[in-house]
Amino acid sequence: MPEQRYTVASVQHRVMGQQIRLRFADDIELRLTPAEASSLSLALVAVSRGISPEREIYMSPITSDDAFVGTVQESGMHVALRAGDLVMDWNGVESLAAALAAAIG
């Protein structure tokens, strides 16, 4: 089983309310609003299933200093991290999308 290089969790922000924390190893932590997490999840599903012709997914969440940058490849997606790209196959992309959707509740 491949190593999972990300975690997804629902967290509470004292002002913004519910947020979805997406952390890639120790490299990048994104805090997404539920709407942002939903949009990212839907975009990941759309490119993984060939519904969307987009070649890049970019999201700069309102409460994060970092951004999600995913480049679509033939066999999956490369997510830009400071330490180098995280290469995800389509199953991994779908798993990330499902984890984001589940964290929204």
**What are the C-alpha distances in Å from 76 to residues 44, 46, 65, 87, 89?**
10, 12, 26, 7, 4
pLDDT 10s digits, 37-46: 999 999 999 9
pLDDT digits (tens, 9 = 90+) for 8-29: 999 998 888 999 999 987 778 9
- Per-residue model confidence (pLDDT) at position 3: 53
- Give dist(CA 13, CA 10) in Å, integer: 10
The answer to whether 47 touches 72, Cβ cutoff 8 Å, is yes
User: Is 70 a residue whose pLDDT tops 70?
Assistant: yes
Torsion over CA of 85, 87, 88 and 90, rounded to 10 degrees?
A: 120
**Tokens 């932590």, residue?**
29
pLDDT at 102 over 50: yes
